[in-house]
Structure 1
């Protein structure tokens, strides 16, 4: 188990032994945490909040099945083989059969090339997270209300609208590049892990590991190293924000079904909820808007998510049509 001072919710959520205690899965961890709670009664409220969050995160990974393009080709090949195996009945049919075979071959070849150039698109609804395995071996986690497109014969060049986390498979033999294209910029990599978000008319890129190049729409290039975060807008033709982030989970925790906030205003935190579920956010007072929130909340269930936020910052969140109305208690 991790040796640390448990001073906030995130300390509990990062400890596997605490999760084992919540799920009652490991005798040693269960004994440790029962002893720890008994000797730290002042932390009981914090423990219960963290327990609620662990129980509330019910992230279900939906892996995308492989495309079945080869199926039609194998059917056509089988038909051709069956026809060749049949005995020739009369000589006068040779010419007609030859013509038919030629047409079938042309159709088969045409079908094959059309399928190779078919554009594949994956889309997610609000509140949905999707895991995609590309043909080159790369993994993509697509956030809610997002889409990822690529051509069947070129899955190392993808178009993104929304947010996605990429774990690009490095091709050591060919050193082939991988491209992510958005309305603002292009990301050029060989093999690495990074997050791209194109929402709110800009593109945010966070590099978790490896090295990448950004080709901005204004013609300039930017090299990124692990921990770098850049936000760029083509409409405004400038870099909006550039900094280093030392805790990568702040930018990538969504892919595991939760959002991590580190001393963030509730107004900024609710922007992420708006992106995930499409609700408009309405604050009834300035105090609630500027309240700071630290910790993790689950995002795969909107009701549990809102209850977790209410507990964390002592506010009331009410659903009203397509809005979330927030006020202090």
Structure 2
């Protein structure tokens, strides 16, 4: 490590001297940053964070790990190269660790669970756990199953070559001082927003649409942050339906990543394979609420009483209720709507308490 740091310091010193003596201490565009450093660097940090996490979400996550979408290679490979240059990450490493994370989510073997390691550790030191997890024997076995082309193999075998190339370009564009600072901002994107942000915050706090075996949560209501990290904060939705390339399951949720995929699909640059939507969630809730009415004798009896009061068959009333829950335009009396709210409250309480009904 000391030898590596010494080599990098020597290379930086030589680059500083060469660039400052040729194109100037501020490179081609460094004067702009020097004039407005806080504004320009803040804008740059937000833009590069969104571009980088979007590439990670669409390529590494939704395509190569979960196969919810197939992205054209002329779109996918530039995203992979960008990720390699900005973060040093390769498809092989990222996908293998993420598969392992899902297999052991919030359990002892999860490399970045705030329940196991604490929120502060997962948030700020998760990158070191990720780095260690890449060399675990079990993760190494997963790596062998991941298909790669020649360029992907090169990026996997030369992980730090990408950031070195990008740092050189940044120094030429903005000069040694500002270029070095911009390169640090580049390299911090993944630890802060992806490894730390998503895996720490979205496994700690938020609401849940689905019952899962882990503590995944939705934080999409933090809209500016969720936009920057490409919709990844609706994490409970993702853990419940991993193969879906859309993380938006309710009408008020927003997944900018799925919007990008729909645009790519429109231009035949991506093929959507699996999409879980708000309509799918309504259908799922409709079935679960109907099951709850059948299994809870109080609700079944009340539903039969309502049907009698309205001169309806019990099954017909239940079908109308299911249609209403699916979002169809069905007119229901106030007494039925009150009953439905009670069923929903009970269902959500059962979810929180992890209660279920024994089969008859």
TM-score by length of 2: 0.23
Decide which structure has greater strand share. 1
Q: Which has the higher contact order (CA 8 A, sep 6+)?
A: 2
Alignment TM-score, normalising by the size of structure 1: 0.24
Q: Larger % of helix: which?
A: 2
